[in-house]
Structure 1
Amino acid sequence: MVRQLGRTTLDRPLIVAFISAPENIRDLAKYQEIARRLADPRSIRDDRERERLIGEGRVVVAISCSIHSTEIVASQMSMQLAYELATATDPETREILAKVILLLIPSANPDGVDIVANWYRKTLRTPYEGVEPPELYHHYAGHDNNRDWFMLNLPETQLITRLFWQEWFPQIVYDVHQQGTNGSRMFVPPFYDPFNPHIAPLLLREVGLLGHKIAADLQAAGFQGVITNAMYDTWWHGGFRTAPYYHNSIGILSEAASARLMTPVTVTREQLAQARTRGMDSALEARTNFPDPWPGGVWRPRDILQMEIIAARAVLTMAAKYRERYLRNFYELGLRALSVPSGAPLAYLIPAGQGRDENLAKMLTTLIEQGIEVHRLDRELHVSTDQAGEREAPAGSYLILLSQPYRADVQALFEPQRYPNRRLPSGEAERPYDVAGWTLPLQMGIEYLPIMSVREPRSAWRLTLVKDETEIRRDLGLPLRRDSKSPVQSPIPHPPRIGIYRSWVATADEGWTRFVLDTFNIPYRSVLDAELRAENSLRSKYDVIILPSQRMREIIDGNSPDRYPAEYAGGMTEKGVENLRRFVEDGGVLICFDAATELAIKRFGLPVRNALEGLRSSEFYCPGSILALDVDTNHPMAKGLPPRVDAYFINSAAFDVMDQRRARIVARYAAQNVLRSGWLLGEKHIQGKAALVEVTMGRGRIVLFGFRPQHRGQTWGTFPFIFNALALAESPRNE
């Protein structure tokens, strides 16, 4: 049975196939209800009913393919897997169909699959065959579409999250990926350290058990080069395979070595010898976690497909053979979550009247959509916190109780992260797989308090369970969503003419910049390299141009003509740089995010330098963390912002300013206690340094963001800096 979940970002259908025995398909509603009740032990009256549900239930397994659409083989594999399950009559397949309900998602990014397929056909039998498309393979997020599983910015993540955590509650989720060409042939769990402390130990053990089953089946089938305990960790929350852990489910990832899209490649021993990653010193060196290296040779998409089929069947076989075990563990993990550990908060309070209603509506909607229970206080309570003693929680505030089945999700989103100080033998920092910190209220700019106790007895509490986005927006007096268009009103009444630079070296930061402006209904145009190279009068077309975060070399040089057709090769070139200079001198505003500040500083001779440039990671390192800023609230770019703001820093910049007559500092990294969540090594190198600077040049100005003000569409707390910077084009220059 195939069901359409909804429409994608570019209005394609997003589908899921339900695969099971005919009698299970006929009774899908029954098994869905069993899964729902096992997910919430409060809905089960007694032990007898629990045993009946476990006895009758089916293991729900979700397999999702090609969310990263250049990792294209899995979407092809899904068709083969469906065919084999539908036609095979062997005992193993019959047992899978009888005891498992498979939710098969052939692609979590069908827009991207079309982009990649069209590009591959266009370049087939040309010198460019097999290179990645010169555009984001998700309209907004590119590779970051697998970084959206707690923020739920994208329609695809919203739809699949609803399928998983509000409708079907899978016990096992398998996310099928591909990795680079020259390393191991496939990674499967167990994962590398560090692990997130809010993941139940039982889940980590079950993840390892399934991973070793996959590895053993691949070895038995004659496949070499399978690695475990390498590269990929479970620290970070926001991926497809990590979100299940915070819903009491098992999350599995496999990463097969890639070909060149669908074109075979030849991998040499020399390439394999040089391949290194966490947990693998060489792709030719045998270790306990890598006992049978692959010696090299031709690597085909068919090899990838065969490995992924074996992996998928291994997961399904385990689910069938240990049906009762998976259902019972799922129930028990939810039950344990209802008991809040000693010393942990009872709840998190979001006080009413903060004045950031759109931020609050987005955050609460995000929590509810992933299954977290949010309550509204209908009368005041007197609560004790670990920060400010007793205080009144006014009516209209929101309360997130920790005693709920997805307690781990609440803790992982609300607590500050403290990433361990992991070093290589050389003393250099060991790079995390993704980011180190992400605490949601800090990113959103929302005040929140951990509640340790409440003075009033429980019978005196008056709470209303909040159901959905519509209810929240009504409570806060915000415009309601009428269609697929964002209901958020533009913060700029008369927006300037805005251009966003779009390089053919595609960067997700550019996509997220468009996402933020689209979300807030601010019009803009994309500015391509050809226009920047040719246009001598940019000022006649634009008031503001934004350079998303991208290294100077990529911006100027672009793609190599050896790898891409002429229309996608080369960057803005020196001619484009000179035209940007003229644009600013003629009165335009150039806004540079993070890495793009390098171009403006070095090519325009600004009295600013990046104080972190040249430091080794043993001296300074801050990968994906939340840092505190001290803000000059008198500057127009700080309008509506408090004196202390949390900002997202991802190996970003900090500035020394040499001429404060030309370069005015809008915000600095805090002088003390800079780190709010994540990992910061070498704090002294950033304390008190400028984080946001406005520089005058000719009749215009350049705005330098040392941090990521729109990181992955998550950092609502720093969006006002962007909006205020855009509004500079309307205001007289502050001399």
Structure 2
Amino acid sequence: MLLGAAAIALFGGAQAVAQTSISPPNNAGVTSPREAFPVEPGSDYYLANYSAYEAYLKKIATQSDRMKLVDIGKSAEGRTQWMAIVSSPENLAKMDQYRGIAQRLAKAEGLTDEQAHQLANEGKAVVWIDAGLHATEVITAQSQIHVLYRMLTYNDAETKRILDNVIILFGHDNPDGMQLVADWYMQKADEKKREYNYIPRLYQKYIGHDNNRDSFMAQMPETENVNRQLFRVWYPQIIFNQHQTGPAGMVVFVPPFRDPFNYNYDPLLVTELDEVGATIHSRLIGEGKPGSGMRSAANYSTWHNGMERSISYFHNSIGLLTEIIGGPTPQKIPLIPDTQLPKGDEPMPVAPGAWHQSQSLEYQWSMDRAVLDYAARNRERLLFNIYRMGANGIARGNRDSWTIEPNDIDALKEAAKARQAPSAASEPSYDPRQRNAVDPALYETVLHDPAKRDPRGYVIPLDAQRDLPTTITFLNTLIKTGVDVLRATQPFTAGGKTYPAGSFVVKTAQAYRPHVLDMFEPQNHPNNLEYPGGPPKAPYDITGYNLSYQMGIGYDRILEGFDGQFEKVPDLLTAPAGHVIGTGKAGWLLRHEANNNFILTNRLLKAGVKVAWLKEPTSAEGKQFGAGAVWVPASAAAQKIIATSTQQLGVDAYAVAARPSGAAMPLKPVRVGLVDQYGGVIPSGWIRWLLEQYEFPFKVVYPQELDAGKLNAKYDVLVFADETVPPSNDSPYRGRTPNQPKPEDIPAEFRSWLGVISDARTVPQLSAFAKAGGTIVTIGSANRLGPLLGAPVQPALVRMVNGKPAPLDTKEFYIPGALIRADVDPNQPLAYGVPDKVDMFFDHSQSFNIAAGSPTAKRVSWYSDAKPLRSGWAMGQEKLQGTTAIVDVDLGKGKLFVVGPEVTQRAQPYVTFKFLFNGLLYGPAEAAAR
């Protein structure tokens, strides 16, 4: 067997590797990977695809009494997502009993410590180990094949201990990606020419690498399937999310992680996480497997909630991330001097030299065994501690409690400075360890300020929602992640206010309290600098993301204890059916605030029904409608669509007796071109998903088609997402320049996808398109096109270098993914339905200055506050004041919509989707009216 204990003799071509003494496997009738695949997975120049992996799972599931195979749902492309449950036959026979114990302990409801100890004694540890999330990180899926085989066939003492004490959930996160990447790699007969760096599209149908940023939102089916197992079915105490590639000059990154960690979760989680990480390092080093690093060896932190391993922290589960080197094409470990000196974060350096896929698989095996052996030896403690953390959350939610955030520490220091003299309780100490101490009385007055208590819960009344279907989507994101959502069956009083029956309630007295707080409360990221006075230390991913702001939810924070006649919502919600209100025969009015009304509008336009937007506010049936209300004149076709769609979509239509007065903007069916490029652009993929959800007709467009011109004959609108336009040298717009293959190196069917947006070839065609009546929407870094197209806008967040604008120094201005409050003019068509104050997602974005007196540019959204930060981290935020976020520009007969913030970021900021959706319909309507 290629990957057996005796097979690994040399390490890195220069260093012997000690092998753990593991008993040879007793096959016991289980087909080995070597027998099942045409080439053994883990061999050089070979990747097994998902079809072969799936077939192998089905085969061995029938051959071993240690494994049950479970279908956990379908992928985006319709493949079955399998989970292999591995344990002793005796445990599998009582699987539901042990799952019930894990659930009771994780939810921690109605248990005493004594009962929890008894359940922990009876239960089995549950560990999730996955593979394939990022499909080009191929080691994880190839490794899982061997790990499964070994766990089904090994009979050594450690394996038996693991099987007796642990239920292992082997999941696969991305079936579609494994199939795509493996097939692409294996297509060339000459194995030395095989590669997967140039796959033509994203390896998850819509979002590629961002499938590991979707965890708290669970928009993608694969994420929802995984979350269901983690937080609604199995409740594992350890969630091991395996990745690739490792740090340069090393083999693998293993926790502990660097700071900051998110202050919302239980501190016991942090210490357990470090404990398991240390166990993995010790196992590798004990087996003579050098090259593991931690903390400063990589940029990974535990702040952001959106990743599979990080959402676990907010659910009291130990989330592990490892990043290993390797691949089917042999690699070399480079010699990097700084990695050769042993230190705390890199205890055992690895020698440079050749590296093979099989070696990575042996490391994966050791890491999996370390985690599983830890779980087996600490079974009761893991089970009890997940209860303890859940019980802590329930207790904190039932009493006055405070979450101390970075801003509170700043306030404490300021309060201490304001004291004219130290009190008697805080006389100066000559102990140097106490020299930074302040008056302890400030603990209660500042850190435990009664006004800054954590809420006991949140009330979401239906009548306070601008967009009720979006609110239902928000509640479903909580339910998908195991949060308990309640619904009032009778009126109740909380915080001195009476709420009607039907209101939703989310209490913080629940085991998943950290996740509840993280979704409702704004993030307060610390001011994390490389050194005092130095540049900011880049966070891992983003810093501000709470969904209550991104989705525009109307809710009340209740600081006092409250109760009522509440029922737990048993499963995912559907929006209450909409209705046709009124008996008028002239037509129907729809509110512009609900995103789902764009679906209804698109259905009407597709059917050839007349639809218009009213330019002035109006009223009907006692309701006020802001500018942009949708007007649908009466017709049999419209009546049928409205009657069906209002019920499906949860929106109301108001039947009126006469056409509302005032000017209207007739809409027309639109032909949308969504710009992408070879390899796929993730922000474009998110927009693709949104356009499908909201039923906008569109076609994906590549640069060669743009460069060919005659665009008006095919498109009314072209959408350029963030990252679709490469940056120029020293450009004040961030972006990325794609690395693309030579045409002759890829199949002919994909060659038309090659190319990039260029100033010389593409911009003249875009200019001609707009001047002839086309609409162009640019978002984020794509706004570099604005000045090139002649728009009277210039980037505002710049400094002049050699007479040219360049990005601001990060010490001057730095907003790495945060929510920023902006002003909006909702009377402008591009902003119809948006509130006059809105939280924008801002990620290294640009802001703009409009040329004075320009007759062709209108300011749609802008920053009026010197401190617009609402959630996350911002340095130099005052530089935004007075600048413009979104601009509506006339270009000849057409339009350019310059949208600085990422208004569709990962399909999360529902409240700002309208800037895109409005632009898709408004631009063509305006052009048609000219």
**TM-score, length-normalised on structure 2?**
0.73
Deviation at 1:560, TM superposition (A): 4.2
1:457-511 CA-partner distances (Å, limit 9, x unpaired):
74xx2222222334x4237779xxxxxxx99934544341101011115221010
1:345 aligns with 2:493: no
Deviation at 1:49, TM superposition (A): 4.1
Aligned to 1:552: 725
Please give the residue correspondences for 1:97-496 in structure 2 after superposition, counting only pairs within 5 Å.
97-105=163-171, 107-123=172-188, 125=191, 129-179=195-245, 182-230=248-296, 231-257=299-325, 259=326, 261-269=327-335, 272-273=336-337, 282-339=338-395, 340=397, 341-342=400-401, 343-353=453-463, 354-384=465-495, 390-425=496-531, 427-453=534-560, 458=563, 461-470=564-573, 472-474=574-576, 489-492=599-602, 493-494=604-605, 495-496=669-670
Instruction: Decide whether the 8 Å contact of 1:418 with 1:437 is kept in 2.
Output: yes
1:36 aligned to which of 103, 110, 115: 103
1-structure distance, mates of 2:896, 2:318: 48
1-structure distance, mates of 2:793, 2:744: 35
Deviation at 1:89, TM superposition (A): 0.8
Query: Relative to 1, partners in 2 of residues 1:6 and 1:487: Cα closer, same or farther, differing over 3 Å?
Result: farther
Q: Secondary structure at the match of 1:241?
A: helix
Deviation at 1:181, TM superposition (A): 6.4
Larger RCO (CA under 8 A, 6+ residues apart): 1
2-structure distance, mates of 1:93, 1:357: 52
2-structure distance, mates of 1:287, 1:556: 35
2-structure distance, mates of 1:448, 1:542: 41
Query: Relative to 1, partners in 2 of residues 1:383 and 1:599: Cα closer, same or farther, differing over 3 Å?
Result: same
2-structure distance, mates of 1:645, 1:126: 54
2:81 aligned to which of 14, 26, 30: 14
Could you say which structure has the larger radius of gyration? 2
1:54-99 CA-partner distances (Å, limit 9, x unpaired):
2211000000112001101110111111111111111000000000
Q: Secondary structure at the match of 1:251?
A: strand
1-structure distance, mates of 2:207, 2:194: 24
2-structure distance, mates of 1:490, 1:266: 56
2-structure distance, mates of 1:324, 1:711: 42
Deviation at 1:635, TM superposition (A): 0.6
2:875 aligned to which of 681, 693, 696: 681
Instruction: Decide whether the 8 Å contact of 1:148 with 1:157 is kept in 2.
Output: yes
Instruction: Decide whether the 8 Å contact of 2:126 with 2:168 is kept in 1.
Output: yes
Instruction: Decide whether the 8 Å contact of 2:706 with 2:762 is kept in 1.
Output: yes
Aligned to 2:647: none
1-structure distance, mates of 2:199, 2:341: 33
Q: Secondary structure at the match of 1:545?
A: strand
Aligned to 2:815: 622
Query: Relative to 1, partners in 2 of residues 1:307 and 1:202: Cα closer, same or farther, differing over 3 Å?
Result: same
Instruction: Decide whether the 8 Å contact of 2:255 with 2:277 is kept in 1.
Output: yes
Q: Secondary structure at the match of 1:645?
A: strand
1:640 aligns with 2:826: no
2-structure distance, mates of 1:4, 1:477: 38
2:914 aligned to which of 712, 720, 724: 720
Instruction: Decide whether the 8 Å contact of 1:62 with 1:172 is kept in 2.
Output: yes
1-structure distance, mates of 2:706, 2:120: 63
Residue type matched to 2:714 in 1?
K
2:856 aligned to which of 639, 655, 662: 662
Residue type matched to 1:140 in 2?
Y
Q: Secondary structure at the match of 2:259?
A: strand
Size of the aligned set, in residue pairs, is 702
Instruction: Decide whether the 8 Å contact of 1:131 with 1:563 is kept in 2.
Output: no
Q: Secondary structure at the match of 1:16?
A: strand
2-structure distance, mates of 1:208, 1:564: 49
2:714 aligned to which of 533, 538, 541: 541
Percent same amino acid at aligned positions? 34
Aligned to 2:125: 59
Instruction: Decide whether the 8 Å contact of 1:128 with 1:564 is kept in 2.
Output: no
1-structure distance, mates of 2:289, 2:472: 50
Instruction: Decide whether the 8 Å contact of 2:284 with 2:367 is kept in 1.
Output: yes
Query: Relative to 1, partners in 2 of residues 1:727 and 1:475: Cα closer, same or farther, differing over 3 Å?
Result: closer
Query: Relative to 1, partners in 2 of residues 1:326 and 1:284: Cα closer, same or farther, differing over 3 Å?
Result: same
304-313 vs 32-41, which moves further: 32-41
Deviation at 1:206, TM superposition (A): 0.7
Instruction: Decide whether the 8 Å contact of 2:725 with 2:756 is kept in 1.
Output: no
Instruction: Decide whether the 8 Å contact of 1:638 with 1:720 is kept in 2.
Output: yes
Q: Secondary structure at the match of 2:494?
A: strand
1:701-721 CA-partner distances (Å, limit 9, x unpaired):
111110111100111010111
Instruction: Decide whether the 8 Å contact of 1:490 with 1:522 is kept in 2.
Output: no
Aligned to 1:598: 784
Instruction: Decide whether the 8 Å contact of 1:187 with 1:228 is kept in 2.
Output: yes
Deviation at 1:145, TM superposition (A): 0.2
Query: Relative to 1, partners in 2 of residues 1:487 and 1:7: Cα closer, same or farther, differing over 3 Å?
Result: farther
Query: Relative to 1, partners in 2 of residues 1:496 and 1:201: Cα closer, same or farther, differing over 3 Å?
Result: same
Q: Secondary structure at the match of 1:731?
A: helix
1:522-551 CA-partner distances (Å, limit 9, x unpaired):
2211012232222x2110111001011116
Deviation at 1:37, TM superposition (A): 1.5
Deviation at 1:576, TM superposition (A): 2.8
Residue type matched to 1:538 in 2?
L
Query: Relative to 1, partners in 2 of residues 1:284 and 1:523: Cα closer, same or farther, differing over 3 Å?
Result: farther
2-structure distance, mates of 1:661, 1:448: 41
Query: Relative to 1, partners in 2 of residues 1:417 and 1:513: Cα closer, same or farther, differing over 3 Å?
Result: same
Residue type matched to 2:469 in 1?
E
Query: Relative to 1, partners in 2 of residues 1:166 and 1:319: Cα closer, same or farther, differing over 3 Å?
Result: same
Instruction: Decide whether the 8 Å contact of 2:136 with 2:196 is kept in 1.
Output: no
Residue type matched to 1:651 in 2?
H
Aligned to 1:278: none
2-structure distance, mates of 1:666, 1:16: 49
Query: Relative to 1, partners in 2 of residues 1:128 and 1:560: Cα closer, same or farther, differing over 3 Å?
Result: farther
Q: Secondary structure at the match of 2:183?
A: helix
2-structure distance, mates of 1:565, 1:595: 30
| Aligned CA-pair RMSD | 2.3
Deviation at 1:180, TM superposition (A): 5.1
**TM-score, length-normalised on structure 1?**
0.91
335-344 vs 55-64, which moves further: 335-344
* Unaligned ranges ≥5, structure 1: 274-281, 385-389, 479-485
1-structure distance, mates of 2:818, 2:861: 17
* Unaligned ranges ≥5, structure 2: 1-67, 402-452, 581-595, 606-668, 728-734, 799-806
1-structure distance, mates of 2:565, 2:736: 60
Instruction: Decide whether the 8 Å contact of 1:626 with 1:675 is kept in 2.
Output: yes
Aligned to 1:78: 144
1:257-288 CA-partner distances (Å, limit 9, x unpaired):
2x3x421122432xx35xxxxxxxx4344321
Aligned to 1:276: none
1:26 aligns with 2:93: yes
